[in-house]
Structure 1
Amino acid sequence: MRIGQMLLRAGVINETQLKEALRRQREKGGRLGSHLIELGYVSEEKLVEFLSKQLEVPGVVLSGYPLDRDTLNIITPDLAQKYEVVPLKREGKVLHVAMVNPLDVFAADEIRFRTGYEVKPYVAAERSIKKILEEHYKTRAMEEEVMEEMELSEIEMMEEEEETVAGDLAAEAAAGPVVKYVNYLLRSAVEKRASDLHIEPYEKEVRVRFRIDGILHEQKPPPYKLHKAIVSRLKVMAKLKVQEKRLPQDGRFEARINGKRIDFRISTVPTLFGEKVAIRILDRSQVSFDLRQLGFEEEALKHFLKALKNPFGIILVTGPTGSGKTTTLYAALNEINDPGINITTAEDPVEYSLMGINQLQVNESIGLTFASALRAYLRQDPDVIMVGEIRDKETTEIAIRAALTGHLVLSTVHTNTAAATITRLINMGVEPFLIASTLILVVSQRLLRKVCEHCKVKHDISDEELIKLGFDPERLRGKLYKGTGCPKCENTGYRGRTGIFEVLPVTQRIKSLILDRATDDEIEQAAVEEGMITLREAAIRKALAGITDIYEVARETTLR
């Protein structure tokens, strides 16, 4: 019996789901099971269970399976790709092998002939096998090619190269091995939705990590001896000085990956064992500049939209580095962007180009600071000014002057809460009456990882653990969710991020507290009494809605 009919008869899927999966199979090819998993109609575990019954061979779920690199290397990349197989473990002269088609006797014979091991076949999900083939064998094949072809002369030629890189990376597949490896690395980072890529040299190895949804994940590393060549290639792409290895350097380059134009910002620094590279990946398709898509609670969004309608005043967004402040500011500018007004920005750096907005990148090495850019913009007939960050008293005072003379100013400050932003300005030396007369709104924010929709399940967490984490069991008991891990989320249980926001409108009561030099706690208490939703409360609401889990709430917020 076909696998689709088996699943249908067992009630695992319904007729409509089977038809949809079959339609996708006709359009895209591949095995039916892969489409059923991709559509979320069946789990990998359930599919393998039924495949095992159908084929009468043992099954193995590869998601989370502890694969050993030495065992994987028993089968060569060409053989693994040819038959879609993954070696699992060795027992004496027997090699346990996961296969898409465990009944393929030709595959078993060739593996036996090429490796010298008897083969014990297991059935596994096609998409999981392909993922391992992509992650391990393609990288390994590339490494082997690099090891065979890389000569010192080639490295020297690369260091003298002055080419421009802005084309399609895939079109360079016939280029040198290091070029191909770097292209593969960049493409892999983009496909895995990484925001940053780190290449870190140590005494005897190189570590490669991708930051995905705010957390660093280790990747398969290249051979140690290729580190210098890889760094040289990246420097060439960013038009940096290849020979300069003693000083930090910054640069950028663009490339087209999978039809999308991606911006890469590269930073190199000398470390004990060589140059460390960090690359920020800016993929416009992964970012929403719509305030309604960022995660605001309904009332908080209303306050923000109302503040943006003011013709003058200051709106501040606060939070730690990497909390999404720039995205919020861009979304705010996008909300009010109109041919009838002049919007200007001063940023460090300019992360995304916004149509209809005049953007300037500050350069402190030549004296172009936030303060000097702001002063210059005041002579440019602006309606709205966005300043990347208020770092000092001078920038703050110019921003206040701009607000007092009829301009709407948006900026960011590094503080932990909305209320703390006000006292931070006072501590900078700004007079309270100036803050009270110009500040309209303060937004504090964080980013929480979202529970993966493809493996989300109810989370039966004990009252004791909830209390230990600082939460009220009565409110949360039986209402929480978590991700169990699946191929869609790289077995992390999380996929994507959402914002949580603490929006503090500067009302008459808040203005009075500012003039009285009130503390953070006093300002926050008054704001909560007037309806402000704290970061903690916003995060708990996200957990109750099944958007995130309780551990993310505990990690990113504190009980106040």
Structure 2
Amino acid sequence: MESIVKEGSLGSILFKCQIISEDDIRAALEEQVQTGCRFGEALVKLGIVTQEDIDWALSNQLNIPYVRLKPAMVDRGTVALVPAALARQHNLMPLIRAGDELSIAIADPLNKAAVAAVEQATGCTVSISVALIREIREMQDEFYGPSETAESLGFVSANFPAAALDAINRDLSGAKLIDYLLLFIVQQKLSSLSLYPVGDAVVVAARRGGQTREIGRLSPCHYPEVVLRVRKLARIAGAGEFAARGELSFAWKGKTIAFQAALLRGEGGDHLTFRVHIAAPYPAGVADLGLSAEKARSFEALAAAQRGMILVGAREPELRCRMIDLYLQEHETAAKTVIVLGSGPGQGEKRFPRIPLSPGADLGEVLLAALEQDPDLVVMEDATDGRAFSAACKAAIRGKLVVAGVALGDIVSLFRQLLSFRDRHHLAPAYLRGVLVAREVRTLCPDCRRSEPCTPEEAKTLRLGGGGSCHRAVGCPSCDQTGIGGKRCLVDVLAIDEESRRHFETAPTAEAFLDFAKSRGWRGVEEDARDLLASGDLSPEEFAASLFT
């Protein structure tokens, strides 16, 4: 079960309480992928458990009292200590105060931000009990009075007409709000629009021309529903990650506009940012990547490999799969059996048999089964974790060519992990043929970019020596006020020959191995990015992001 859900998560707790099985967990994970809902919501939606089951399991496993709320349990003087907006924002109800200890009932006992907010507001130490969200809201209406935003989304703004505000606020799902906000981005030519909880409200802020201004506020009561709606539209599964992003589309004037939605977990709720998605054209071949002659030769050497392991790294799954497809396009696959594991790669001009992977699938077992089909080449969408990587290496040892994706966006991090796998005997260095690591950068609009001196701090951070100039763009009509000219893919290509392999087998650190590679003429993306910075195609911020994140 540990391979399916993380220790300490809701799924782990319910499993240990014998309320759900591994099959139930898999079904809920699949529901998450389809709908973007939270894990517990998926269980309830599928009829596997009731909300009472979840609350009881949490209270039992975490040794927290589970209460069924009644008015007699609530002290009105204690209720006055906690603002109604704070209680409704975090789905909690103050019960009684004893000295400096305040007892509250809360729907989510793992919500540490809620406890911290109550302690800050009251100056008391908080003890918690678990209660049903339905009963918590009943007590809130009983002691605080009916919520002014109970039947309204609570969005206020001077930038939208009254009819639009009425339509937005009557739709508690958040769908209308999202539509109007995306339309606002297009009409006002914004570079981005963000929603983030601050105090007892959710601020809606627009950014254009390098400046941010508040355009409205949203009640926090229904903000979780708005975030859930965005997750569903952008196909962002799960809710426990620190940060996530996805894409959603919006139809306007007969054309479809793609947006990127980025989520960042914060105090009081998720920080949500929309921006128009700048799509990079799919490279038709290696020549479209703009590689140097040396990198192009290294790419060709990797494409000529007949066995062993090729690793393709990128943080973004889409970019990683695009690079895998480009490799497959350059590799001679005629008269070969190719099997693709996963739904992402294999979408290029060449198509191959595909084995879809369900959430929580044991990739090692799937790979071993695929090897029974006697393939020449196996493609693995994501072999980042140790078990999957070890399985990939075993397939390479059996004489197969394995092209495996890894969720790492820079070559230093990738080789650090490879050295770790080497030391734990997950990796047989003799079978590593080379690596491709890609990341996309946003280039500046050529029409509105301007040169300006670098500050001493920028020169130091960017290692520019005595200083120098840099370029920035504030937006113009030709770039829809974004300041962005397009996207470009920076690629690290490193083929491993016999001499490189000997150094890799004994290298103490990733940096030491890459220094050896540089001594033999290898040139990484840092040099490529510096060229773009010097030519005015990259801003200093994008240059720093391409190297340090």
TM-score (norm 1): 0.53
| Contact 1:450–1:496, Cα closer than 8 Å, also in 2 | yes
Give the match for residue 11 of structure 1: none
Q: CA deviation at 1:151?
A: 7.0
Query: 2:310 & 2:296 partners in 1: Cα distance?
Result: 14
After TM superposition, list the pairs within 5 Å mapping 1:1-20 onto structure 2.
none
- Secondary structure, aligned partner of 1:314: strand
Alignment CA distance shift 1:417-1:191 (3 Å): same
Alignment CA distance shift 1:184-1:517 (3 Å): same
Q: CA deviation at 1:399?
A: 1.0
Give the match for residue 310 of structure 2: 315
Alignment CA distance shift 1:263-1:388 (3 Å): farther
Give the match for residue 532 of structure 2: 542
Alignment CA distance shift 1:494-1:232 (3 Å): closer
Q: CA deviation at 1:537?
A: 1.4
Alignment CA distance shift 1:202-1:329 (3 Å): farther
Give the match for residue 80 of structure 1: none
Bigger relative contact order, structure 1 or 2 (CA pairs below 8 A, ≥6 apart): 2
TM-score (norm 2): 0.54
Give the match for residue 448 of structure 2: 455
2:523 equivalent among 516, 525, 533: 533
| Contact 2:421–2:427, Cα closer than 8 Å, also in 1 | no
Alignment CA distance shift 1:426-1:482 (3 Å): closer
Query: 2:321 & 2:354 partners in 1: Cα distance?
Result: 13
| Contact 1:238–1:253, Cα closer than 8 Å, also in 2 | yes
2:405 equivalent among 412, 416, 419: 412
Alignment CA distance shift 1:504-1:380 (3 Å): same
Q: CA deviation at 1:452?
A: 1.3
Letter of the 1:145 counterpart: A
Query: 2:245 & 2:474 partners in 1: Cα distance?
Result: 39
Q: CA deviation at 1:230?
A: 4.2
Give the match for residue 206 of structure 1: 202
Query: 1:227 & 1:542 partners in 2: Cα distance?
Result: 41
The gaps in structure 1 that reach 5 residues or longer are: 1-138, 159-177
Give the match for residue 76 of structure 2: none
1:398 equivalent among 376, 391, 402: 391
Q: CA deviation at 1:398?
A: 1.7
Query: 1:399 & 1:497 partners in 2: Cα distance?
Result: 32
Give the match for residue 257 of structure 1: 251
1:440 aligns with 2:428: no
Query: 2:341 & 2:192 partners in 1: Cα distance?
Result: 23
Q: CA deviation at 1:354?
A: 4.6
| Contact 2:346–2:352, Cα closer than 8 Å, also in 1 | no
Alignment CA distance shift 1:503-1:407 (3 Å): same
CA offsets per residue over residues 332-358 of structure 1, 9 Å max, x none? 2344486754444334x7389556244
Letter of the 1:543 counterpart: L
Alignment CA distance shift 1:499-1:270 (3 Å): closer
Give the match for residue 297 of structure 2: 302
Query: 1:507 & 1:454 partners in 2: Cα distance?
Result: 44
Give the match for residue 362 of structure 1: 357
| Contact 2:261–2:275, Cα closer than 8 Å, also in 1 | yes
Query: 1:389 & 1:477 partners in 2: Cα distance?
Result: 41
CA offsets per residue over residues 418-446 of structure 1, 9 Å max, x none? 36634533422567796332111123444
Give the match for residue 145 of structure 1: 163
CA offsets per residue over residues 239-284 of structure 1, 9 Å max, x none? 999xx99999x99997573666788998999986567768899887
Query: 1:407 & 1:211 partners in 2: Cα distance?
Result: 50
Q: CA deviation at 1:317?
A: 2.9
Letter of the 1:257 counterpart: A
Query: 2:369 & 2:336 partners in 1: Cα distance?
Result: 18
CA offsets per residue over residues 369-420 of structure 1, 9 Å max, x none? 3333323332344333332332333222221222233432222345575366
2:414 equivalent among 402, 421, 428: 421
Alignment CA distance shift 1:485-1:148 (3 Å): closer
CA RMSD of superposed structures (Å): 5.2
Query: 1:268 & 1:245 partners in 2: Cα distance?
Result: 10
Query: 1:270 & 1:463 partners in 2: Cα distance?
Result: 33
Q: CA deviation at 1:238?
A: 8.1
Q: CA deviation at 1:232?
A: 6.8
| Contact 1:318–1:414, Cα closer than 8 Å, also in 2 | yes
